[in-house]
Structure 1
Amino acid sequence: MTYLCSEMDKFMKYANFFYTTVGFEAYATASRPPNDSLRNRIVFWGSLVNLAIVGIGETIYFYFAIRAGNLLEAVTVMSYIGFIIVGVSKIFFIMWKKPALSAMVQELEDLFPRGKVQEAQFHLEDYLRSCSRISFNYGLLYFVLIWTFNLYPIMELIVFEKWLKIRIVGKTLPYLMYAPWKSDDNLSYYPLLVSQNLAGYTSAAAQISTDLLLCSVATQVVMHFDHLARSMENHNLSGDWPADSRFISEMTVGVSPDMITKLFLYLVSSMSQVYLICHYGQMVADASFGLSVAVYNQSWSHADVRYQRALLLIIARAQKTRHLKATIFLDITRSTMTDLLQISYKFFALLRTMYVQ
Structure 2
Amino acid sequence: MENLEKFVRLANFFGNHIGMKPWGRLDGFQRRFLFYFSSINLLITFIAESSYIIVTITSDFILAVMTLSYVTFIVVAYAKWYYLYTYQTERTAFFQRLETLFPCTKSQQEAIKLSEYIRMNKLSTISYTISFLMCISTYTFYTIARQFIYTNLLHVPGTERNLPYQAVYPWDWRDNWTYYVCYVSQGFAGWHSTCAQMAFDLMLCTLSTHLIMHYDHISRSLEGYQTKFAEIHGKNGLTQQARAAMELKAVKDDIKFISSIVAYHTELLRFDWSHADIRFQKMTILVAERAQDPAALKATKLITISRDTMTVIMQMSYKFFTVLRTMYGD
- Structure 1-normalised TM-score? 0.66
Match of 2:282 in 1: none
1:161 aligns with 2:157: no
8 A contact 2:22–2:199 mirrored in 1 = no
Match of 2:70 in 1: 80
Match of 1:119 in 2: 109
8 A contact 1:51–1:84 mirrored in 2 = yes
Q: State the shift of 1:209 in Å.
A: 1.1
Match of 2:280 in 1: none
Question: What does 1:21-36 align with in structure 2 at a 5 Å threshold?
Answer: 21-28=17-24, 34=25, 36=27
Match of 2:203 in 1: 213
Q: Within 2, Cα distance between the matches of 1:349 and 1:104?
A: 23
Q: Any idea what SS the aligned residue of 1:107 has?
A: helix
Q: Within 1, Cα distance between the matches of 2:189 and 2:241?
A: 53
8 A contact 2:19–2:26 mirrored in 1 = no
1:89 aligned to which of 79, 95, 101: 79
The CA deviation string for residues 5-33 of structure 1, in whole angstroms up to 9 with x for no partner, is x71110001100000122212233xxxxx
Q: Name the CA shift for 1:95/1:345 in 2 (closer, same or farther; >3 Å).
A: farther
1:100 aligned to which of 87, 90, 108: 90
1:41 aligns with 2:32: yes
Q: Within 2, Cα distance between the matches of 1:227 and 1:349?
A: 19
Q: Within 2, Cα distance between the matches of 1:54 and 1:196?
A: 6
Provide the aligned length of Structure 1 versus Structure 2. 253
Q: Within 2, Cα distance between the matches of 1:61 and 1:154?
A: 20
Paired letter, 1:147: S
The CA deviation string for residues 160-185 of structure 1, in whole angstroms up to 9 with x for no partner, is 33213357543210001001222111
Q: Within 1, Cα distance between the matches of 2:102 and 2:32?
A: 31
| Consecutive aligned runs of 4 or more in structure 1 exceeding 6 Å deviation | none
2:48 aligned to which of 54, 57, 79: 57
Q: State the shift of 1:345 in Å.
A: 4.9
Q: Within 1, Cα distance between the matches of 2:69 and 2:182?
A: 19
1:246 aligned to which of 236, 239, 250: 239
Q: Within 1, Cα distance between the matches of 2:184 and 2:194?
A: 15
Paired letter, 1:97: Y
Q: Name the CA shift for 1:96/1:345 in 2 (closer, same or farther; >3 Å).
A: farther
Q: Within 2, Cα distance between the matches of 1:7 and 1:58?
A: 43
The CA deviation string for residues 44-102 of structure 1, in whole angstroms up to 9 with x for no partner, is 11110000001001111111112x33111110111111010000110111211111111
Choose 239-248 or 76-85, whichever is displaced more.
239-248
RMSD: 2.7
Question: What does 1:93-242 align with in structure 2 at a 5 Å threshold?
Answer: 93-165=83-155, 169-238=159-228, 240-242=230-232
Q: Within 2, Cα distance between the matches of 1:349 and 1:152?
A: 45
Match of 1:262 in 2: none
Q: Name the CA shift for 1:240/1:167 in 2 (closer, same or farther; >3 Å).
A: farther
Paired letter, 1:230: R
8 A contact 2:12–2:23 mirrored in 1 = no
Q: Name the CA shift for 1:196/1:241 in 2 (closer, same or farther; >3 Å).
A: same
Q: Among all aligned residue pairs of Structure 1 and Structure 2, give the percentage whose two residues are the same amino acid.
A: 29
Paired letter, 2:50: T
Paired letter, 2:113: H
Q: Within 1, Cα distance between the matches of 2:244 and 2:38?
A: 46
8 A contact 1:156–1:169 mirrored in 2 = no
The CA deviation string for residues 176-197 of structure 1, in whole angstroms up to 9 with x for no partner, is 1001222111111000000000
Q: Any idea what SS the aligned residue of 2:239 has?
A: helix
Match of 1:311 in 2: none
Q: Within 2, Cα distance between the matches of 1:175 and 1:76?
A: 9
Match of 2:10 in 1: 14
Q: Within 2, Cα distance between the matches of 1:248 and 1:207?
A: 39
Q: Name the CA shift for 1:167/1:8 in 2 (closer, same or farther; >3 Å).
A: farther
Question: What does 1:295-310 align with in structure 2 at a 5 Å threshold?
Answer: none
Q: Within 1, Cα distance between the matches of 2:136 and 2:294?
A: 40
8 A contact 2:20–2:26 mirrored in 1 = no
The CA deviation string for residues 227-285 of structure 1, in whole angstroms up to 9 with x for no partner, is 0110001124445352795143232237xxxxxxxxxxxxxxxxxxxxxxxxxxxxxxx
8 A contact 1:14–1:139 mirrored in 2 = no
8 A contact 2:20–2:84 mirrored in 1 = no
Q: Which has the larger radius of gyration?
A: 1
Q: Within 2, Cα distance between the matches of 1:252 and 1:38?
A: 45
Q: Any idea what SS the aligned residue of 2:19 has?
A: coil
